Structure 1
Amino acid sequence: MLDPRKLHLLRELSRRGTIAAVAEAVTFTPSAVSQQLSALEREAGVRLLERTGRTVSLTAAGHVLVEHAHAVLEQLERASAALAAARGGPCGPLRIGAFPTAARVLLPPALTALTGAHPGLVPMVSEIDPADVSAALRAGELDVALVHEYDFVPPPADASIETEPLFREAMYLTVRASVAAARDDAWITNKPGTLCHAMTIRACQAAGFEPDVRHHVDDFDTVLAFAAAGQGVALVPRLAATAPPPGVRLTRLPLARRTLAAFRRGNGDHPAIRAAVTAFHTAVPHLPLDDSA
């Protein structure tokens, strides 16, 4: 019988690429991860890993088993959700991840609605970049999260994660009337590795140039303050531009950011997850969004 916990480690190895990265993600030692994967090979009766020095890669059989691991772990999530529903209404801790704009604008009314409808739930919120959400959900560090995706930046594929759309908002450019008009300007972007940074770079590339990035700033209020101080131009989403500082002109662009709820595949019907997503939807009509975004 194959052990689901070992299947989880194999799936993580397929995504992270090294034993050390898997160990860090699951808070095991590298030797413990290696031992568990060796035990999984014995249970499977076939080689799953190809070891060359310190490098480890999946064999063809390993890749086949990872595909089955997705299905097995999804069914276990469905079983957990069904048992939770059988126990009654949602209760207990609910770990919610959110990027800063959503945490500031969407979560306060959503949490009010959630705890009002389900007083037995204990929401626990952590700010997290959407690029890190999949790993946190798979590791069980989060139960549900608010993530975003941009035009020009397709969401990363992860067969273990499901998403549900919540809302769409327009993107705005500070100072200039178009991205092309900002070709010779200094730019302010989020840190490299974030979806926001990738969106800015690709929007500029689509306009035919590489941006001169001078500042890497994650907080959009600070981005707008820099723009007001003449330190560069930036792309900002609607919810981050509700009260721009004096002197900052904003031009709406034909670009958008979409916010979604994310959770482990198979776990969407868990009473606590469904209650949270319902609360997110309840809060959306109260957001200052453009009607035609």
Structure 2
Amino acid sequence: MLDVRRLRLLSDLARLGTIAAVAQAHTYTPSAVSQQLSALEREAGTPLLERTGRRVALTPAGRVLVEHSETVFTALERTTAALAAVATGLSGPLRIGAFPTAVRTLLPSTLVALGRQHPGLELMVTELDPVAVPAALGERQLDVGLLHDYDVVPVKPDPALDAVSLLEETVFLALPDTSPTAEHTNPLSDVRDAAWIMASPGTLCHTVTLHVCRTAGFTPRVRHHADDFVTVLALVAAGQGVSLVPQLAAARPPVGVRLIPLTTRRRTRVAYRRGAAAHPAVAAFVAAIRDSASVFTDQHAPGS
């Protein structure tokens, strides 16, 4: 019989690449991880790893076992969900990961609603970049997390996760209100020579801004780098440049900022481990945050 905990270590090794990374994710020592993987090899009756000096790689048998491990993990999540469904009332921790703009706009009302409906839930929020959410879910540091991508730069889904659509936002061109009108079919044409405020290189927001600008026929001239949209909008209001800002971040722009809607859209999803959709706590969170997103959309619809 294969030990599920050891199987998870092997799966994480395939995902993370090194025993040291697996050890860090599980707060084990590398030696302890190696011992557990050796025990898994004995259980499997076949070598799962090829060791060359300090490096390890999966054998064909190891790759087959990792491939089938997702089925095992999904079945365990479904079993956990089924047990939770027959319990009386929701209780225990619900660990939530969300990016900063969602924490400020959607989560407060979501947490209030969940606390009122299910007082036994211990709601725990971690502000987290969406890029880090899949690993945090896989390592069981989170139960649910918010992911996003953009229609112009879609992100490939993680095969270990399920997700449901939550929100599709307009992306705005944010510029100082003293700037030209930008009333063209492509408003970016008026800011091709402007200074830009962009996210850090390597982030999804940085990639999206480069893509949008290059599609409009120019490469942005970067003056400032900032990853928090509150900071971005403050810099725009101070006349320091222009930027792209999604609707959640643009709900209450500071004085001195003008927002021009673009055709680009940011898409947010609620993600959880595959098989966990029927877990009552996960389902309750999805329902509550969808209600919050619906209210936000209604309040910020054109003409509202």
TM-score category, normalised to shorter length: over 0.9
Q: Identity, % of aligned pairs? A: 57
Q: 1:202 to 1:58 in 2, by over 3 A?
A: farther
Q: Which residue of 2 aligns with 1:72?
A: 72
Q: Which residue of 2 aligns with 1:221?
A: 230
Unaligned runs of 5+ in 2: none
The within-5 A match list for 1:166-245 is: 166-175=166-175, 177=182, 178-245=187-254
SS at match of 1:239: coil
CA distance in 2, matches of 1:125, 1:118: 16
Q: 1:227 to 1:195 in 2, by over 3 A?
A: same
CA distance in 1, matches of 2:203, 2:192: 22
Deviations 1:89-117 (A, max 9, x none): 21122111111111111111111111111
CA distance in 2, matches of 1:232, 1:100: 22
Contact 1:95 1:141 in 2 (8 A): yes
Q: Report how far residue 179 of structure 1 moved.
A: 3.5
CA distance in 2, matches of 1:41, 1:204: 52
- Mark the structure with the bigger radius of gyration: 2
Q: Which residue of 1 aligns with 2:128?
A: 128
Q: 1:41 to 1:238 in 2, by over 3 A?
A: same
CA distance in 2, matches of 1:156, 1:6: 27
The within-5 A match list for 1:103-114 is: 103-114=103-114
Q: Report how far residue 273 of structure 1 moved.
A: 0.8
Q: 1:34 to 1:205 in 2, by over 3 A?
A: farther
Q: Which residue of 1 aligns with 2:17?
A: 17
SS at match of 1:153: coil
Q: 1:19 to 1:185 in 2, by over 3 A?
A: farther
Moved more, 4-13 or 283-292: 283-292
Contact 2:251 2:300 in 1 (8 A): no
One-letter amino acid matched to 1:236:
V
SS at match of 1:111: helix
CA distance in 2, matches of 1:248, 1:184: 18
One-letter amino acid matched to 1:212:
R
Moved more, 30-39 or 185-194: 185-194
SS at match of 1:240: coil
SS at match of 1:256: strand
Q: Report how far residue 88 of structure 1 moved.
A: 2.3
Contact 2:19 2:30 in 1 (8 A): yes
Q: Report how far residue 180 of structure 1 moved.
A: 4.7
Let me know the Cα RMSD of the aligned residues: 1.9
Contact 1:165 1:261 in 2 (8 A): yes
Q: Which residue of 2 aligns with 1:290?
A: 301
Moved more, 47-56 or 161-170: 47-56
Q: Which residue of 2 aligns with 1:59?
A: 59
CA distance in 2, matches of 1:168, 1:239: 10
Counting matched residue pairs gives 292
Q: Which residue of 1 aligns with 2:272?
A: 263
1:137 to 2:148 alignment: no
1:88 to 2:97 alignment: no
SS at match of 1:136: helix
Moved more, 42-51 or 216-225: 42-51
Moved more, 263-272 or 41-50: 41-50
Contact 2:147 2:271 in 1 (8 A): yes
Q: Report how far residue 182 of structure 1 moved.
A: 3.4
Q: Report how far residue 197 of structure 1 moved.
A: 2.3
One-letter amino acid matched to 1:270:
H
Aligned counterpart for 1:278 among listed residues 283, 287, 290: 287
Moved more, 155-164 or 248-257: 155-164
